[in-house]
Amino acid sequence: MATATPTADVGVDQKSARAGQRGRAVGRLWRVRGELTFRWRVGLGAAGLVGVVALWLLAANATAGSQQGIVVPSPTATWDALRELHAEGLLVSDVLASTERILYGYGISMAIGVVVGLAMGAFPSAEGTLEAPIGFVRYIPASALTPLMLLWLGIDEAPKITLIILGTVFYNILMVADVTRSVPRQLIDAATTLGASRRRIMARVVWPHSIPGIIDVARINLAAAWLMLVVAELLATDEGLAVRVVRATRFRDYDRMFAILLVFGVIGMLSDLALRGLRRWAAPWNR
């Protein structure tokens, strides 16, 4: 004991221990489940994007001049290709064509998801009946149904929209059902003892409580809708973002391919932002 130095035998973390201070101060940025100020959020977001562009530049430089294997076009070349697509009038028509398919397909899928999901989450009868069939169908890859859709529905918009629905609706149903199940039992009990009918409980308790969760489900599964869109647009068609990528592939037009990929990313980010805004507007009580 006599040899021990005073700092060595106290039970304080030595890194954090300073004279005249107790405890461990935690910086704002690394606090577990801490919150960022608006400035930091924007600043870090920008830094992340700059980082991606920097990596892109590095990759473009490293592959510059090569025609085979991995070829990464530079950001400027990609930008030029994007302007070219715009000048040819393809960019707007492709974006509109693809977005329209998503809006119809995913819109219908969400509508089915909400109705069936609410029913499954709320009523044991619906859950019991639907759980097994959905569990079965869900594991059939929707993309494997492409040829069948082609034979059944032709090559028009119908098979494409149907594929988007098939590729997302089961996830939507099951996830909305989960959201519905998370309505606290006591809120339903409270409503019942206040004289609410089953319909009123659905409309005035289950539905409002589920809104933020349903918007989250819509946000998460939207990515799957775009995935199915690409598969769907491989069916004969002239317009669409995925069509453009496939066409560009034939000519090894890496610039155009990257330009379209960029567009996918931007659309995704914007729709995510819009849905976040919708959530905040529709359920201000929820965080």
Partner 1 sequence: MGGTVESVTAAAAASAVPTADSVAAREAGPGDTGTDGAAPAKLRIRGLEKRYPVKGGELLALDGIDLDVPAGGFVTLVGTSGCGKSTLLNIVAGLVAPSAGDVTVDGDRIVGPGPDRGLVFQAYSLFPWRTVAENVAFGLECQRLSRTQRRARVDAMLATVGLTEFAEWLPRDLSGGMCQRVAIARALVIEPDLLLLDEPFGALDLQTRKNLHEFLRLVWQRTGATVLMVTHDIGEAIYLSDQVVLLSDRPARVVERIDVPFGRSREPNVRRDTRFLELEDEVDDLLHGRR
Contacts to partner 1 by CB under 8 A: 184, 186-187, 189-197, 200, 204-205, 208-209, 283, 285-286
Rounded to the nearest whole angstrom, what is the least distance from the CB of residue 286 to partner 1 in the complex? 7
CA angle centred on 211, ends 205 and 215, rounded to 5°: 165
Rounded to the nearest whole angstrom, what is the least distance from the CB of residue 220 to partner 1 in the complex? 22
Specify the residue, 99 or 192, whose C-beta has the smaller distance to partner 1.
192
Specify the residue, 230 or 283, whose C-beta has the smaller distance to partner 1.
283
| Cβ–Cβ under 8 Å, residues 259 and 237 | no
Rounded to the nearest whole angstrom, what is the least distance from the CB of residue 186 to partner 1 in the complex? 4
Rounded to the nearest whole angstrom, what is the least distance from the CB of residue 210 to partner 1 in the complex? 11
Close Cβ partners of 36 (under 8 Å, ≥ 6 residues apart): 28, 29, 44
Specify the residue, 160 or 209, whose C-beta has the smaller distance to partner 1.
209
Amino acid at the residue 110 = M
Close Cβ partners of 191 (under 8 Å, ≥ 6 residues apart): 200, 201, 204, 205
DSSP-H helix ranges across 154-253: 157-181, 185-193, 198-201, 207-233, 241-250
